């Protein structure tokens, strides 16, 4: 794309004003590249731009949103991504199959295990690996723990973006317990790097099991009591109800997945829709809500925590014996082919499309992240709401910028 | 070289300074004595003729000075209480229990660079924090802290309070406008809309109290609530109290109405571009505001400095230390020793790990505390204003705790909900409250007469 | 593997397929020409026989010889992931019709494919770079992407960002990486 | 939201007040340090002395102690005589050759089919692409290869093995099991015979069977 010289004419009053004062307007210094950009960066009567981010207290990472405001009302918005872009897909193409998993791990740092699971699943398909059943159970167990940790963090962030100071710290306590637990299982607190092609790295240990048993005995009560702070709070409920509503058809057109789609009433969960691992053997429900607003998305995640606890309970009871790792050569060279695998994460569908050309490195590795998909639907949800609601809507979709920017 | 010269050379620098300064000091002292002898009479005459002016100057100085520790204390309370509610420890490094952390914050704010952003209006930008701070502080002038402890007993005290308190929005608006930042502008305009909207229910809810008290003087309102706690206006004006409390929260920009500096929405609102001590003024003004709002609530509805029950025994402590004579000296010399040993003995016996000197140190501290407690108790019983001040501060800080507690619990409301609440709910309800109060007074009066 | 599904696809789209329908594990793959993307995906999306309403993924692929755009679809009518590969896009000027008319949410994925591969999606309203800076000129995930070359042309090459004074728009171009007008 | 306005707020306030008195979870860091988890992975770093020589003496203690077996290492022994390494032996050969070469950007020789007569592999690659490199369709691949080359050169079998991931022995076994697959180029007579010969296909056989039995039930 050739970039033409800036078209700031000398008689454009706004440009000269900004030049003199050295204040940055978010208007880009080049001509609009697309129809949409031209439309967005043209101000209507009484409208103004405001630059939210990349350094803003509550953008969940380094996100920049250019808001077009009419007073306090949002008319339109343009999210600008790329501040956290690391080129993970390119990195994965230059690493062998084991190393690629390390690169996908920090994509969405709040729920790393799901970022490992999707590529691992795809590579196992490429290599026709049969994963031992115990490894599958351990995977389900640890990833459901991670889902709870992620949802707990979401509940806190949601409240923080609405101005509540306390829930974020309570939910961090919750998350910290789980993360410590997973650390004793995997070795790290945040970037676990636990799933390997053909199984998991290391069996369950005593430290993990004792912590898990201790936590499971009080988890339900603990989570419920923490959530009682806001679930009935009039201020909170009034702000969230009817905010950022999206209907089923639109959600499908926006290719949304996960809790955000289920909050509109579609019981689409890849664990049931396209089962992988041992999920067909486990009993759990897919909670749905029909409203499709921020409150529904918030409450739905609470219901999901309960279902995850159910799954963990079943995993603990049905855990088979056996190895946790399939017998595999260290250097993997799958035959040429393509594989696609998707897992249901706390934010929706994490999937990986891997192409092998017969060498020990993936020829192409596409990583699909739900945060990226959901973030673009704020463009539909926000217009018409107030500036105070932008952060609430964004928080209710629960995007993690590490995943959005890859 | 003379002897004097050699001696002078041997002196260190402080020594030289003292030797050079001594004659000057001597001259100054003598001059002062002469001046007092010559001019003392006329000056005292002038002062005694203008006691109200003297009182005003002293009062305003004292009030300006007490706002600083008050703000420090409330900032510390906020940090610590919210931390404890969050299941954290909170500040615990600077001073005992971290209590000096807010002082350190104040020093940090003083030392930071203080700059004006490009494009800002420098004069307005500089004066905005001053206006906000002074508007907050000046309202303290009419608050009665204790019997006889008030800056000025204005007969239009309440009116003065609302008039000066309303000035703070000018400061916020100035800050928002002059910063040349859209976030600041949004914050300033939000502040203007919010404060002006909530002034109306705030004032209307107080009118009921004014009707009952029949005066605008805050001191008189407090005096009217004396006796048992059932005389407090909160029991005659519960609805008015509720409206006043909510509106006052909004007026002080506290959670859940802290929209002007909603950090998750508009960064820091009007204060976005401020740094250094200018920001410190806003910061102090906010917390002084919390104190003032609590104090006014206590004054209007909670009986001010009145104890919830009248002191049941009429004790006059006719203790004259002069009677003891030489015994007083012995008492002063011996009693601390006895008390120290008396408090140290159980400490020493309680555990083998506590060494003798540690026990003595602990005993000394405990003895001092005991003496302070005894003196306090005597002062409480014997001195009216000590009792009043204790009750007043106790009630006020209970309300400050309530504000902090609310901040630790509640999320923020949205600007349109805030406006709806003010105009559609609080205003009609406060009018209703006013109507009912007036009707009740008329009925009671007609029944009585 | 869903054998019947393969037959259904073959009978419905027989003449549009440019390769064999392949099945492996739980995936079914069909290849179509770039021109057939919208009719085929519309049929898959709308027809009650298929009802592929979930676009799971949209990826660009550079095979070294041609460019591809790969769509992954999910439907309750089949147990398989359906992979639709729009094959045979020229590397010099890859163009493919946009599917934003079917799935509005494909817009950013198409922007990403444009950013990374330079594939032009005709009909996408907002086809501009999404990750890389707007004055970036090459397409990082293409197989002929060469990092040192790219760094030399980058506006900040060798210059610390704060000291950057020259005009990035006058940066030299090389023949290695194509420049298109979208 | 409850029916009584303000009840939710009151509940929340009660909850925060209760937590106000509960025990706190803060870990005072510099005084109170937690142990790293048993499988903790830190950063591996090799130290150099002041002359820039590697301090590592290749004692393998780190590799033996590594709980997750992520260290594999090699070097000269302490007397500088033998090259020693730690880890699975097969790892080394492969890593030295292919990956290392590829990452350094040099061409990768594949010794697997160098000793054999080289043939043009493009036709075979097309066939493999058609069959999706699926080892399950090995017979069809071999037949197609024979159709393309006239016989099965050993180099093609090696290539098939490398690409599909199937063992060479398995492919060789398949190829030798079926009589119509051959390893030598056909002679002229054989080629003529092959033209005449007609291997009855499955379909024609069944048609003949149906005709003989006079049944149409199979259709």
The string of pLDDT tens digits covering residues B375-397 is 888 777 777 777 888 888 999 99
Q: Report how many domains make up chain A.
A: 2
Q: CA torsion A300→A303→A304→A310, rounded to 10°?
A: -170
Residue D51: both structure tokens together: 């002359």
Specify the residue for token string 């609405």: A162
The token pair at A62 is 């380094």
* C-beta atoms of A239 and B414 within 8 A: yes
Secondary structure (DSSP) of chain C: --HHHHHHHHHHHGGGBSS--EEETTEEEEEEEGGGHHHHHHHHHH-TTT---EEEEEEEEE-SSSEEEEEEEE-TT-SSEEEEEEEEE-SSS-EEE--TTT-TTHHHHHHHHHHHH--EEET-TT-S-SSS-TT--S-TTSTT--HHHHHHHSTTTTS-GGG--S-GGG----SSS-----
CATH of the domain at A339: 1.10.645.10
CA distance B244 to B247: 5
- Window 159-198 of D: residues touching C by CB (8 A cutoff) are none
Selecting from A57, A161, A235 the residue whose C-beta is nearest the C-beta of B410 gives A235
pLDDT of residue B145 exceeding 70, the answer is yes
pLDDT reported for residue C179? 39
> Residue A159's closest CA among A300, A58, A309?
A58
Q: Show the domain range for D63.
A: 52-109
Lowest mean pLDDT among A332-336, B312-316, D88-92, D155-159: D88-92
Compute φ and ψ for A189, nearest 5 degrees: -90, -30
Indicate if the pLDDT at residue C167 is higher than 50.
Answer: no
Nearest CA in chain B to D8: B410
Q: Are residues A144 and A42 located together in one domain of the fold?
A: no
- Say if residue C147's pLDDT is above 80: no
pLDDT, residue B67, reads 87
User: Both D119 and D101 in a single domain?
Assistant: no
- By C-alpha distance, the chain C residue nearest D131 is C22
In chain C, domain spans: 3-135
Q: Which of B86, B89, B405 sits opposite D17 (nearest CB)?
A: B405
Contact criterion met (CB < 8 Å) for A340 and C107: no
Tell whether A57 and A200 lie within a shared domain.
no
CB–CB contact D26 B408 (8 Å):
no
Chain C touched by D57 (CB under 8 Å) = no
The average pLDDT across C114-136 equals 85
User: Same structural domain for residues D126 and D75?
Assistant: no
Residues A146 and A225 in one domain: yes
Tens digits of per-residue pLDDT, A268-301? 889 888 888 888 888 888 999 988 888 899 889 8
Chain B meets chain C (3+ C-beta pairs below 8 A): no
pLDDT in tens, B69-118: 888 999 999 999 999 988 888 888 887 888 888 888 888 888 888 888 77
Write the DSSP symbol of residue B269. G
B425-428 long-range contacts, Cβ below 8 Å, gap at least 24?
B426/B198, B426/B201, B426/B243, B426/B246, B426/B247, B427/B200, B427/B201, B427/B204
Average pLDDT for D24-35: 85
Interface test with D, best of C6, C22, C25 (most D CBs within 10 A): C22
Which conformational region is residue B111 in: left (phi greater than 0), alpha (psi within -120 to 50 degrees), or beta? alpha
Same domain for D104 and D130, yes or no, is: no
Whether D22 is covered by a domain: the verdict is: no
Q: Which residues of C touch D130 (CB under 8 A)?
A: 20
Give the angle A352-A353-A356 at the CA atoms, nearest 5°. 125
Cα of C130 to nearest chain A Cα, Å: 6
Mean pLDDT of the C147-152 span: 58
Nearest alpha carbon to residue A289 among A279, A271, A275, A301: A301
Å between A81 CA and nearest CA of chain C = 6
Nearest C-alpha neighbor of A356 from the set A201, A140, A197: A197
Residue D95 pLDDT exceeds 50: no
Task: Summarize the confidence of residues A74-81 as an average pLDDT.
Answer: 88
Q: What is the pLDDT of residue A10?
A: 45
Whole-angstrom CA distances from A49 to A46, A63, A70, A75, A257 are: 10, 16, 9, 10, 31
CA distances from A339 to A117, A290, B305, C58, C74 (A): 14, 34, 78, 14, 15
When pLDDT is cut at 50, 70 and 90, the band that residue A11 belongs to is very low
D140 close to D131: Cβ distance less than 8 angstroms:
yes
Percent of chain B at pLDDT > 90 equals 6
Q: Does A8 map to a domain?
A: no
Does the pTM surpass 0.90? The reply is: no
pLDDT-derived band at A119 (thresholds 50, 70, 90) equals very high
Out of B52-56, B332-336, C85-89, D41-45, least confident range: D41-45
Interface of C with D (CB under 8 A): 20, 22, 24
The residues in B 33-92 lying below 8 A from A, measured between CB atoms, are 82, 85-88
C-alpha–C-alpha distance, residues A138 and A117, integer Å: 12
Q: What is the pLDDT of residue B346?
A: 80
For residue D43, being part of any structural domain is answered with no
On whether both D180 and D119 belong to a single domain, the answer is: yes
Mean pLDDT along residues A191-198: 87
At A137 the pLDDT is 92
The answer to whether residue A271 is domain-embedded is yes
Range with the lowest mean pLDDT among A41-45, B397-401, C93-97? A41-45
Mean pLDDT, rounded, of chain D? 72
C178 has a pLDDT exceeding 50: no
> Is the pLDDT score of B198 beyond 60?
yes
Is the Cα dihedral A378, A381, A387, A393 positive or negative? negative
**Would residue A214 count as lying in a domain?**
yes
Q: Where are the domains of chain B?
A: 72-88+105-310+385-448, 321-382
pLDDT for the residue C155: 52
Task: Determine the average pLDDT of the residues in D151-169.
Answer: 82
Q: Which position has the higher pLDDT, D198 or A314? A: A314
Q: Are A56 and A96 members of one domain?
A: no
Query: Would you place residue A146 in the very low, low, confident or very high pLDDT band (cuts 50, 70, 90)?
Result: very high
Q: How far is B369 from chain A (nearest CA, A)?
A: 36
Burial class (CB in 10 A: 0-12, 13-18, 19+), D83: exposed
At residue D72 the predicted structure's pLDDT band, cuts being 50, 70 and 90, is: low
The CA distance from B250 to B194, in Å, is 7
The pLDDT-based confidence of D98 (bands split at 50, 70, 90) is: low
Chain C CB contacts of D134 under 8 Å are 24
Residue B16 in this model has a pLDDT that exceeds 60: yes
Q: Name the pLDDT band for A12 (thresholds 50, 70, 90).
A: very low
Chain A to chain B Cβ contacts (< 8 Å): 85
- Give residue-wise pLDDT tens across range D133-145: 888 888 889 999 9
B143 is written with which tokens?
């608050």
Residue D125, chain C, CB below 8 Å: the answer is no
Of B86, B119, B417, the CB nearest to A166: B86
| Count of domains for chain D | 2
Query: What average pLDDT does the segment A381-389 reach?
Result: 86
Phi, psi of D102 (to 5 degrees): -65, -40
**Residue D196 covered by a domain:** no
Q: Does the pLDDT of residue A2 top 70, yes or no?
A: no
What's the pLDDT at A311? 92
CA distance D55 to D45: 11
The stretch B264-283 carries a mean pLDDT of: 84
Is the pLDDT reported for residue B364 higher than 50?
Answer: yes
Do A368 and A314 reside in the same domain of the chain? yes
B410–chain D Cβ distance below 8 A for any pair: yes
What average pLDDT score do residues D22-48 get? Answer: 80
Chain D residues in contact with B93 by the CB 8 A cut-off are: none
In a domain, D44, yes or no: no
Q: Please say whether the beta carbons of B284 and B68 come within 8 A.
A: yes
Asked whether residue D147 falls in the same domain as residue D102, the answer is: no
Please tell me whether residues D146 and D100 are part of one structural domain: no
* Residue contacts between A and C (CB atoms, under 8 Å): 127
Contacts of C24 in chain D (CB under 8 A): 132, 134
Q: Is D93 found in the same domain as D59?
A: yes
In this structure, the answer to whether residues D174 and D146 fall within a common structural domain is yes
* Residue A17 pLDDT class (50, 70, 90 cuts): very low
- Same domain membership, residue A277 and residue A255: yes
CA dist., res. C124 & res. C100, Å (int): 6
Is this complex scored with an ipTM above 0.85? no
When scoring A174, A208, A331, A355 by the number of chain D Cβ atoms within 10 A, the one with the most, hence best to mutate, is A331
Strand residues in A261-391 grouped as ranges (E):
337-344, 349-356, 362-368
Q: Are residues A120 and A254 in the same domain?
A: yes
Over residues B131-145, mean pLDDT: 86
pLDDT-above-70 percentage for chain A: 92
Domain around A193: 88-405
Distance CA B297, CA B398 (A): 11
Closest CA to B292 of B240, B344, B253: B253
**Chain D residue at shortest CA distance from A333:** D165
Confidence check: pLDDT of A3 > 90: no
Residue D17 lies in a domain: no
Q: From the CA of C13, how many Å to the nearest CA of chain A?
A: 22
Q: Looking at the structure, tell me whether residues D179 and D119 fall in a common domain.
A: yes
Is chain D touching chain B, with at least 3 CB–CB pairs below 8 Å? yes
Mean pLDDT for D68-77 is 65
Q: CATH no. for residue D179?
A: 1.10.10.1590
Per-residue pLDDT, averaged over B352-359, amounts to: 78
For residue D163, the 8-state DSSP code is: H
Lowest mean pLDDT of A221-230, A333-342, C25-34, name the range: A221-230
Residues D151, D179: one domain? yes
Query: Which chain B residues touch D22 with a CB distance below 8 Å?
Result: 87
In a domain, A69, yes or no: yes
Query: Chain C: residue nearest A86 by CA?
Result: C131
Eight-state DSSP code of residue B425: I
On whether the CB atoms of residues D178 and D141 are closer than 8 A, the answer is no
Touching A (3+ Cβ pairs <8 A), the chains are B, C, D
Structure confidence at residue A63 as a pLDDT band (50, 70, 90):
confident
CATH homologous superfamily for C3-135?
NADH:ubiquinone oxidoreductase Nqo5 subunit (3.30.460.80)
Q: How far is B52 from chain A (nearest CA, A)?
A: 47
């Amino acid at each position: 794309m050739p970039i033409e010289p800036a078209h700031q004419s000398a008689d454009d009053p706004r440009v000269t004003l900004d030049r003199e004062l050295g204040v940055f307007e978010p208007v880009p210094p080049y001509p609009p590249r697309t129809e949409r950009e031209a439309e967005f960066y043209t101000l209507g009567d009484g409208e103004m731009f405001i630059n939210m981010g990349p350094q803003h207290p509550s953008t969940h990472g380094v996100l920049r949103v250019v808001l077009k405001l009419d007073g306090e009302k949002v008319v339109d918005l343009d999210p600008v991504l790329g501040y956290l872009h690391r080129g993970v897909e390119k990195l994965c193409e230059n690493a062998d199959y084991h190393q690629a998993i390390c690169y996908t791990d920090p994509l969405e740092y709040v729920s790393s295990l799901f970022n490992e699971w999707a590529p691992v699943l795809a590579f196992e398909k490429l290599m026709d690996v049969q994963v031992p059943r115990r490894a599958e159970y351990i995977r389900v167990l640890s990833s459901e723990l991670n889902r709870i940790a992620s949802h707990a963090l979401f509940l806190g962030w949601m409240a923080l973006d609405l101005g509540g100071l306390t829930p974020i710290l309570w939910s961090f306590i919750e998350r910290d317990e789980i993360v410590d637990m997973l650390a004793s299982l995997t070795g790290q607190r945040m970037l676990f790097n636990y799933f390997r092609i053909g199984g998991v790295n290391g069996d369950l240990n005593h430290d993990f099991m004792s912590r898990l048993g201790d936590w499971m005995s009080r988890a339900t009560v603990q989570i419920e009591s923490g959530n009682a702070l806001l679930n009935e709070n009039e201020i909170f409920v009034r702000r969230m109800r009817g905010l950022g509503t999206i209907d089923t058809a639109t959600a499908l057109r926006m290719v949304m997945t996960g809790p955000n789609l289920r909050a509109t009433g579609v019981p689409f969960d890849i664990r049931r829709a396209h089962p992988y691992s041992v999920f067909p053997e486990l009993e759990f429900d897919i909670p749905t809500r029909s409203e499709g607003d921020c409150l529904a998305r918030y409450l739905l995640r609470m219901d999901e925590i309960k279902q995850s606890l159910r799954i963990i309970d079943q995993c603990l009871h049905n855990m088979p014996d056996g190895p946790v790792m399939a017998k595999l050569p260290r250097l993997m060279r799958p035959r040429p082919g393509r594989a696609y695998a998707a897992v249901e994460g706390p934010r929706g569908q994490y999937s990986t499309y891997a192409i092998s050309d017969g060498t020990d490195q993936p020829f192409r590795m596409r990583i699909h992240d739900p945060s990226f998909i959901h973030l673009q639907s704020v463009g539909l949800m926000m217009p018409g709401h107030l500036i105070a609601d932008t952060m609430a809507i964004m928080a209710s979709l629960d995007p993690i910028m590490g995943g959005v920017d890859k | 070289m003379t002897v004097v010269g050699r001696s002078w050379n041997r002196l260190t620098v402080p020594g030289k300074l003292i030797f050079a300064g001594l004659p000057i000091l001597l001259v100054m002292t003598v001059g002062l004595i002469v001046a007092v002898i010559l001019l003392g009479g006329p000056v005292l005459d002038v002062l005694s003729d203008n006691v109200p002016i003297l009182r005003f100057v002293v009062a305003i100085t004292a009030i300006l000075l007490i706002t600083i520790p008050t703000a420090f204390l409330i900032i510390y309370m906020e940090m610590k209480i919210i931390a404890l509610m969050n299941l954290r420890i909170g500040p615990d490094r600077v001073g005992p229990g971290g209590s000096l952390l807010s002082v350190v914050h104040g020093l940090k704010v003083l030392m930071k660079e203080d700059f004006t952003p490009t494009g800002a209006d420098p004069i307005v930008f500089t004066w905005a924090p001053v206006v906000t701070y002074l508007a907050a502080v000046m309202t303290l002038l009419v608050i009665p802290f204790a019997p006889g402890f008030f800056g000025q007993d204005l007969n239009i005290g309440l009116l003065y309070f609302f008039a000066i308190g309303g000035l703070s929005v000018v400061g916020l608006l100035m800050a928002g406008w002059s910063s040349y930042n859209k976030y600041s502008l949004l914050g300033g305009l939000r502040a203007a809309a919010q404060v002006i909207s909530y002034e109306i229910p705030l004032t209307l809810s107080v009118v009921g109290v004014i009707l009952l008290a029949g005066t605008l003087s805050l001191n008189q309102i407090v005096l009217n609530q004396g006796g048992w706690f059932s005389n407090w206006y909160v029991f005659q004006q519960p609805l008015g109290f509720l409206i006043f409390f909510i509106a006052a929260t909004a007026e002080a920009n506290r959670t859940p109405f802290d929209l002007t500096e909603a950090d998750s929405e508009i960064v820091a609102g009007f204060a976005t571009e401020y740094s250094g001590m200018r920001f410190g003024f806003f910061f102090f003004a906010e917390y002084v505001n919390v104190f003032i709002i609590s104090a006014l609530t206590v004054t209007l509805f909670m009986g001010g400095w009145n104890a919830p029950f009248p002191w049941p025994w009429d004790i006059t402590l006719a203790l004259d230390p002069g009677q003891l004579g030489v015994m007083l000296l012995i008492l002063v010399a011996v009693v601390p020793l006895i008390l120290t040993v008396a408090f140290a003995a159980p400490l020493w016996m309680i555990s083998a790990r506590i060494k003798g000197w540690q026990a003595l140190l602990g005993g000394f501290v405990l003895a001092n505390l005991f003496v302070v407690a005894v003196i306090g108790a005597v002062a409480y019983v014997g001195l009216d204003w000590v009792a009043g001040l204790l009750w007043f501060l106790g009630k006020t800080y209970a309300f400050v705790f309530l504000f902090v507690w609310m901040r630790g619990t509640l999320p923020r409301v949205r600007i349109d909900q805030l406006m709806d609440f003010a105009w559609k709910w609080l205003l009609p309800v406060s009018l209703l409250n006013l109507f009912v109060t007036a009707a009740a007074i008329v009925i009671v009066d007609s029944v009585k007469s | 593997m869903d054998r019947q599904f393969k037959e259904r696809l073959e009978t419905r789209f027989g003449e549009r397929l440019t390769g064999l329908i392949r099945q492996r594990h739980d995936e079914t793959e069909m290849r179509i020409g770039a021109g057939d993307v919208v009719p085929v995906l519309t049929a898959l999306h709308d027809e009650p026989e298929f009802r592929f309403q979930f676009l799971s993924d949209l990826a660009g692929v550079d095979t070294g010889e041609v460019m591809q755009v790969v769509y992954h679809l999910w439907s309750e009518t089949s147990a398989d992931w359906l992979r639709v590969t729009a094959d045979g896009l020229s590397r010099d000027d890859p163009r493919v019709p946009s599917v934003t008319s079917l799935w509005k949410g494909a817009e950013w994925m198409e922007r990403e494919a444009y950013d990374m591969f330079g594939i032009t999606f005709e009909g996408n309203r907002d086809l501009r770079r999404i990750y890389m800076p707007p004055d970036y000129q090459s397409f990082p995930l293409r197989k002929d992407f060469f990092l040192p070359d790219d760094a030399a042309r980058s506006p900040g090459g060798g210059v610390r960002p704060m000291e950057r004074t020259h005009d990035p728009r006058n940066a030299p171009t090389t023949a290695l990486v194509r420049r298109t007008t979208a | 939201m409850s029916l009584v306005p303000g009840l939710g707020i009151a509940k929340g306030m009660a909850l925060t007040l209760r937590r106000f008195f509960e025990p706190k979870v803060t870990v005072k860091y510099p005084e109170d340090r937690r142990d790293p988890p048993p499988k903790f992975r830190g950063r591996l770093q090799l130290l150099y002395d002041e002359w820039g020589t590697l301090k590592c003496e290749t004692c393998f203690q780190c590799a033996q102690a590594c709980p997750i077996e992520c260290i594999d290492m090699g070097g000269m022994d302490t007397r500088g005589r033998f090259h020693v390494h730690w880890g699975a032996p097969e790892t080394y050969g492969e890593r030295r050759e292919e990956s290392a070469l590829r990452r350094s950007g040099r061409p990768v020789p594949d010794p697997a089919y160098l000793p054999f007569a080289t043939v043009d592999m493009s036709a075979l690659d097309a066939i493999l692409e058609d069959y999706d490199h699926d080892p399950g369709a090995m017979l069809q691949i071999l037949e197609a290869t024979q159709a393309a080359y006239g016989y099965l050169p050993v180099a093609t079998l090696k290539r098939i093995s490398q690409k599909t991931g199937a063992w060479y022995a398995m492919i060789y076994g398949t190829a030798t099991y079926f009589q119509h697959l051959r390893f030598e180029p056909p002679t002229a007579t054989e080629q003529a015979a092959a033209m005449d010969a007609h291997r009855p296909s499955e379909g024609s056989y069944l048609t003949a069977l149906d005709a003989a039995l006079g049944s149409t039930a199979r259709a």
